[in-house]
Amino acid sequence: MVTLHSLDVLLLAFLIYLHTCLHAALIKTLPAVQPKTLNFCLLTELLNGIYTSGEVEIFPQGKLGTPMLVYCDMETDGGGWTVFQRRKDGSVDFFRGWKEYTKGFGDVNGEFWLGLESLHNLTTMTKMSLRVDLRDQDESVFAQYSTFEVAKRNYKLTVGGYTGTAGDSLTYHNNRIFSTKDRDPATFITRCAMSYRGGWWYKNCHEANLNGLYGIDVKHQVSSSDKLKTWDVLNVILRSGSWWNFEVISTMKMRPTAFSPPARG
């Protein structure tokens, strides 16, 4: 004999079964939800509650591409900067060949160069801005550029739209291709990468050079024909001997030009 109680139990079991089937069918019709992919050091998911600079894994070519470990500067001028070069103590040799400059070298927490291929990939995904920060024991200055791109062919530099306190010495290098000790254009009177001991966008030779020899042997940083420029510190050692024993820190970083710093309450 079927009682009212047993009918209630059967009805409840049927409703649970129906709910389970409908839920399973609904799940099958929905697209898989993928986690956000960090392309730069600036997505809302990254900035919200994460204001400390440090290592972050990003995917410049999307979630199916090769991940890249970068250093994110989340503090300077609102944060969101992907750092691609740092010099601070001379612990890493920057007098390297084309393959190493293309791939990158060093440690993102210390001295490093992210790599020309990575610079090309990042700067051609969207319009980028460049910031260069220079600091010694007594002073900090910066140079910022609203346009920054590294082309695929010979990693030619496009840079412009200067603002800042360091003076504009990088625009001189606009439209120059990258040179290394084993790939120095024959059109130069001087083999710049060999003479100045580092890879750079030379223009016979430079007004700015962050990748030269660090801290010693000033003759390799300055030729007799060079004029005093605003970015002397970009040669890593100033042309005045009084600076030789001072620590000079330089960083180069990029972020999308359209970036707007989030409110930090």
Angstrom distance (rounded) from CA 128 to CA 41: 12
In a domain, 229, yes or no: yes
User: What is the residue range of 50's domain?
Assistant: 44-256
The SS3 call for residue 73 is strand
Q: What is the pLDDT of residue 178?
A: 97
Q: How far is CA 120 from CA 16, 86, 126, 219, 258, in A?
A: 56, 18, 11, 32, 18
DSSP state of 35: P
Domain count across the chain = 1
What digits encode the pLDDT tens for the residues 214-238? Answer: 865 433 444 333 333 445 444 443 3
User: Is residue 54 in a domain?
Assistant: yes
Q: Which of 19-28, 39-48, 57-66, 243-252 comes out lowest in average pLDDT? A: 19-28
pLDDT value at 126 more than 80: yes
Taking the C-alpha atoms of residue 249 and residue 180, their distance in angstroms, rounded to an integer, is 22
Mean pLDDT of the 127-136 span:
92
Residue pointed to by tokens 């739209």: 161
DSSP state of 233: G
On whether residue 244 sits in a domain, the answer given is: yes
- Interval 9-45: pLDDT, tens: 454 554 444 344 433 443 333 333 334 455 667 654 4
pLDDT at 188: 65
The reply to whether 169 falls in a domain is yes
Would 183 be classed as within a structural domain? yes
Can you tell me the distance from the alpha carbon of 209 to that of 207, in angstroms, rounded to the nearest whole number? 7
Whether residue 66 is contained in a domain is answered as yes
| Residue 264 lies inside a defined structural domain of this protein | no
Token pair, residue 9, equals 């139990």
Section 204-211 average pLDDT: 85
Decide if pLDDT at 2 tops 90: no
Residues whose CB falls within 8 Å of the CB of residue 71, separated by 6 or more in sequence, listed in order = 53, 54, 55, 56, 82, 83, 86, 108, 109, 112
Which CATH number belongs to the domain containing residue 226 in this structure? 3.90.215.10
**Which pLDDT score is estimated for 94?**
95
